[in-house]
Amino acid sequence: MAWARRPQAAALVAALADPDRGWDAIVIGEYERAFYGAQYALMAPLFEHYRVQLWMPEAGGRVDYYSEHDEQAMTVLGLSSKREVTRTSIRVRTAMAVQTREQGRYLGGRPPYGYKLGDAGPHPNKAHAAWGRRAHRLEPDPETAHVVSWMFAQRLGGHSAARIARALNDACVPCPSAADPGRNRHRTGAGWTLRTVTTILSNPRYTGRQVWNRQRTDRDLADPADVSLGHRSVQRWNLPDGWVISDRPAHPALVSEADFIAAQDVSAARGPAPEAGPAAPRKRRYLLAGLLTCGTCGRRMESAWSNAKPAYRRRHGHTTAVPPDPGRTGNAYVREDRILPRLPALHLQLTGTQPPASRRRRTRRGADARPLAATPEGVIGYLREHAITLTYDPAAGTLHAGTAEAAKTIAVKAS
């Protein structure tokens, strides 16, 4: 991690510019804990500028900023530090994959909903066992295991994930974060959601097999405009072919493997129907994505594919997983093909001029020059270039356009 993103290191760097800081040297006991990769090359000019000395055991004392030998030594140490971190990561990941596949070992983390941690005897590592540490395994939770089995039975019965979530909320069944608030302090525990239900129905650990590496940690630039800030960790989901699954059952199953696979087929069958032939499915395009806002609440409208056509909607907090609220604001919905034909007229009212492009058409009576009408794609480009947003009023069925600087808006009938 870059110095600017470490709290104590950032405070030290901020104090460099203070002439009354009360110190003029930095002593580093372990190079690996201070510099990683090319971080020394980034920090050394700063230390030199503020006349701050750097002392390290690897340099035999004080580092000479003007010495080519010391500079090469620091570069080699940085690469060595980076190499050791990479090697350690590979060794740890390889060991965890083997422990999961061959031993079915529980490798830590929160137990899935429906399970609790049980004692599995002394820790397999003798050193850890000598410290009194114990191994753990997943055991069915008597208070929640039957809920998971019921969810799979409902899914196999043809019920949607939204209907399952709504039934659980109607029955006042605590959601996972409410059932285990100690491990879910970052969640509200308000109720079951579609995402919670689909996550449970797609978790293969309920078949009794241990699964690891469903998620990976990627290293993305913290700020592409300033690479000196280093990288940040980002969690992303792996595809099933990257999962590590135990060769044999590791804990009691809450659903059979056959029923689990059948539940996934139900999920796949409820998706969009594939097009005939070997051709790839048509890519969905939303030309107005990010440009439309709701005239009722002022928030951005989300893209939605409806009846094989692009559309935009604002549900105002509604979801099929919870009972409808009579006092809730109605949904805002408009199809894209209702808006696109109105864009040229909207462009004309915004600019007050005809498009400059023109072409000449040769006729028997002579040449006739006619201006080209603005295309919807061209108007959309104009809107994005000038940061103009479109506001759809579902009550009046009108479309308003304006910028943050322009107070006036222009209305065009959109439905």
CATH of residue 140 = 3.90.1750
Q: What is the band of 28 on the pLDDT scale with cuts at 50, 70, 90?
A: confident
Are residues 91 and 164 part of one domain? no
Clarify whether residues 80 and 174 are in a common domain: no
245 pLDDT above the threshold of 90: yes
* 28 occurs within a structural domain: yes
Question: At residue 249, does pLDDT exceed 90?
Answer: yes
Q: What is the pLDDT of residue 358?
A: 44
* Whole-angstrom distance, CA of residue 264 vs CA of residue 252: 20
**DSSP designation for 178:** H
pLDDT tens column, 263-305: 988 855 554 444 433 333 456 788 888 888 888 888 888 888 8
Residue 306 domain flag:
yes
Q: Are residues 299 and 336 in the same domain?
A: yes
The mean pLDDT of 345-350, rounded to a whole number, is 80
Residue that wins the pLDDT comparison between 404 and 317 = 317
Q: Look at residue 397 and tell me if it is in a domain.
A: yes
Q: For 57-69, how does the pLDDT look when each residue is reduced to its tens digit (9 = 90+)?
A: 888 888 888 888 8
Q: Are residues 341 and 309 in the same domain?
A: yes
pLDDT at 258 over 90: yes
307 and 387 co-located in one domain? yes
In a domain, 131, yes or no: no
Q: Quote the pLDDT of residue 143.
A: 92
Is there a single domain that holds both residue 399 and residue 299?
Answer: yes
Please give the pLDDT value at position 70.
84
153 within some domain: yes
Per-residue confidence band for 155, with pLDDT thresholds at 50, 70 and 90: very high
- As a whole-number percent, the residues of the chain with pLDDT over 90 amount to 20
Q: Return the closest-CA partner of residue 30 out of 71, 84, 72.
A: 84
CA trace torsion 255, 259, 260, 266 (10° rounding): -140
Q: Judge whether 160 lies within some domain.
A: yes
**pLDDT tens-digit profile of 351-390?**
766 544 445 555 555 555 454 557 888 888 888 888 888 8
Q: Is 390 helix (H, G, I), strand (E, B) or coil?
A: strand
CB-CB contact of 71 with 42 (8 Å): no
Q: Give the residue numbers spanning the domain of 353.
A: 292-358+370-413
147 in the same domain as 90? no
Who contacts 143 (Cβ-Cβ below 8 Å, separation ≥6)?
Answer: 179
Domain count, the chain: 3
- In the prediction, which pLDDT does 148 show? 95
- The pLDDT of 215-226, averaged and rounded, is 82
Same domain, 28 and 143: no
> Do 319 and 394 contact (CB within 8 A), yes or no?
no
50 inside domain:
yes
150 - beta bridge partners? none
Look at residue 204 in the predicted model and tell me its pLDDT. 94
Q: At what angle do helices 145-156 and 194-201 cross, to 10 degrees?
A: 90
pTM attached to this predicted model: 0.59
Question: Of 103, 128, 151, which residue sits at a domain end?
Answer: 103
The pLDDT of 25-51, averaged and rounded, is 84
